[in-house]
Amino acid sequence: MTGLPEGFEYQVRGGDVVIFHHGSRAATLRAGAAERFLIEVNAQDPQMLMARLTGNYKRGNERIARTHSRNHGR
């Protein structure tokens, strides 16, 4: 696995943009957010943009956080 986001796609429905991740709806962007998305999606990596907007991406700190003392239930 490369760690890059994958499995995202989007559909324009009227003035809204619906983002899907592996076939399930992950987010719906309306009005201004939908307009900004349609501009940005052509200017950068669409998979990374959709991952960022849906919050469905790894930040690289999961392994460190798992071992942190505050996450041991004490």
- Indicate whether this model's pTM tops 0.85: no
Domain assignment present for residue 61? The answer is: yes
What are the tens digits of pLDDT across the range 2-31? Answer: 567 889 999 999 999 999 999 999 999 999
Mean pLDDT of the region 53-74: 65
Domain boundaries, position 31: 8-71
Tokens found for residue 9: 């796609």
Indicate whether 3 belongs to any domain: no
Residue among 18, 19, 22, 17 nearest 6 (CA): 22
Tell me if 48 is assigned to some domain: yes
Alpha helices in 6-61 (DSSP H): 31-40, 46-54
Q: What's the domain count of the chain? A: 1
Contacts of 19 (CB under 8 A, 6+ apart): 8, 9, 10, 25, 26, 27, 28, 29, 50, 53, 54
CB burial of residue 74 (10 Å; 0-12, 13-18, 19+): exposed
